[in-house]
Amino acid sequence: MMEEKKQTFDANEAALLVEELNESFRTGKTKSYEWRVSQLKGIEKMVVEREKDICEALYKDLSKPEYEAFISEIAMVKSSCEEALKELKQWMKPEKAKTSMATYPSSAEIVSEPLGAVLVISTWNYPFSLSVKPVIGAITAGNAVVLKPSEIAPATSSLLSKLFEEYLDRSAVRVVEGGVLETTALLDQKWDKIFYTGSPRVGRIVMTAAAKHLTPVVLELGGKCPAVIDSDVDLQVTVRRIIAGKWQLNNGQACISVDYIITTKEFAPKLIDALRKGIEEFFGTDPMESKDISCIVSSNHFSRLESLMDDYKVFNKIVVGGQRNQKKLKIAPTIFLDVPGDSQLMQEEIFGPLLPIITVENVKDSIDLINSKPKPLTAYLFTNNEKLKNNFVQSVSSGGMVINDTVLHVTVSSLPFGGVGESGMGSYHGKFSFDAFSHKKAVLYRSFSGDASVRYPPYTPEKQKL
């Protein structure tokens, strides 16, 4: 029998917490440049001083190799802090706006103002960076913020709770730990913004709860990210980048990981051969023994992936890998060829080390295939063909897109990161994070001169002639 989880934080406590944060916000302290800087510096200090603890927690939760933890979690947070500290003054400045003849003489500006008390709900696959990066956005924009990390990465969640108390201003920046019950208690409250990272299923729950209070949301969701591989490519580079974008990253447990490949029937055997060799080069002849590959996060997720592999529609389609070990929660990089479109493998986001390859007669057909599915978070294309590149960019709708590489767009903070349609709404990173947590207030300045009577009643025939 499943043990029932005890609720550690209820709606009454959530209401008190929101009230406390709103009170802090009302004092105006979170709005000041100095407060924002002090909190960003606190995060920077926390990351530098506690790097070892963070790596250990990530290893406990995901067996994340230390090097990977550093590049994809710690360095990402550090660089977000550095950028925010460098640019904050500029971001906070009102933006001049053009005025119209109707307001002459006047001036106008767009003032970025904080929203109030905001909620960040995070997920388990990058449990440190996907928790702290949105919090950085909330702080740079001058909000009070509550972070709810994922209970599926418990070591990181508990560490975040401890570190935030130690390094940040608890009157305006807090962590609430817990799972569904605790998140539900938080979602019952009136927030000024909710920033959610996770599955589209829970994204709907979040949006429904937010609608009750007319709370705006950013939903960073997932989906099936396709990679189209043309035959006109540098095959060795392509394969290394596909492997990096699939198995190097958390063993496929990443929202922007390559979910499936589309290539031509003719090119598939050559591609599979190169992928097999590339996997061996990266992870050795027995990838189950490799220390450079993460395990599956939990037994529930392991069972989910096992059932995708054992589906009678696909189990005899494995062309590379297939090994698994339930005790160690390990699954080897596994490639399937020509799985049917109605198999579970092609119906749901895989979020693991399984990689189906779908073949088409002509690479151009891949565009219709992608567009027949919900809009992905990212779409990848490998080709030297300029016409195909242009056509892909113009015709495929996705949150983001990378041509001739995978996943690196997340490192470019001048690009917005977010989904479209089923893969989410809103975006963040760099200045986009500041904007996601700000209200853009339109301010028009007039003087008492230029008060033309033509705009006022009575609407005399003379005035109407003008």
Q: Which residues bind ligand NAD (CB under 6 A)?
A: 121-125, 130, 148, 150-152, 179-180, 183-184, 197-199, 202, 205, 220-222, 255, 349, 351, 377, 419, 424
Least Cβ distance, residue 426 to ligand NAD (angstroms)? 10
369: left (phi over 0), alpha (psi -120 to 50) or beta: alpha
Alpha-carbon span 377 to 218, nearest angstrom: 14
Q: Do residues 396 and 375 make contact, with C-beta atoms less than 8 angstroms apart?
A: no
Distance of CA 93 to the CA centre of its chain: 27
Q: Which of 178, 242, 233 is nearest to 13 (CA)?
A: 178
Between the CA atoms of 283, 348, 208 and 141, what dihedral angle is there, to the nearest 10 degrees? 30
Q: Catalytic residue positions?
A: 220, 255
Output 183 or 359, the one with its CB closest to ligand NAD: 183
Output 83 or 151, the one with its CB closest to ligand NAD: 151
CA angle at 328 for the pair 303 and 318, rounded to the nearest 5° = 55
Least Cβ distance, residue 157 to ligand NAD (angstroms)? 9
Task: Residue 439: count other Cβ atoms within 10 Å of its Cβ.
Answer: 16
Output 287 or 424, the one with its CB closest to ligand NAD: 424
Q: Which residue is nearest to ligand NAD (CB)?
A: 222
C-alpha separations of 354 from 6, 230, 237, 294 in Å: 35, 21, 21, 14
Output 68 or 230, the one with its CB closest to ligand NAD: 68
Q: What is the CA radius of gyration of the chain?
A: 25
Could you say which DSSP state residue 338 is in?
Answer: S
Least Cβ distance, residue 407 to ligand NAD (angstroms)? 12
Say how many CA atoms lie within 13 Å of 2 toward its Cβ: 4
Least Cβ distance, residue 397 to ligand NAD (angstroms)? 16
Could you say which DSSP state residue 376 is in?
Answer: P
Question: In 27-168, which ranges are continuous DSSP H helix?
Answer: 33-49, 51-62, 66-69, 75-92, 129-140, 154-167
Output 138 or 388, the one with its CB closest to ligand NAD: 138
**Helix, coil or strand: residue 69:** helix
Least Cβ distance, residue 298 to ligand NAD (angstroms)? 9
| Identity of residue 41 | K
Least Cβ distance, residue 102 to ligand NAD (angstroms)? 42
Output 171 or 199, the one with its CB closest to ligand NAD: 199
Output 73 or 230, the one with its CB closest to ligand NAD: 73
Tell me which residue has tokens 């709005």. Answer: 31
Alpha-carbon span 208 to 215, nearest angstrom: 10
Least Cβ distance, residue 129 to ligand NAD (angstroms)? 10
Q: Do residues 249 and 280 make contact, with C-beta atoms less than 8 angstroms apart?
A: no
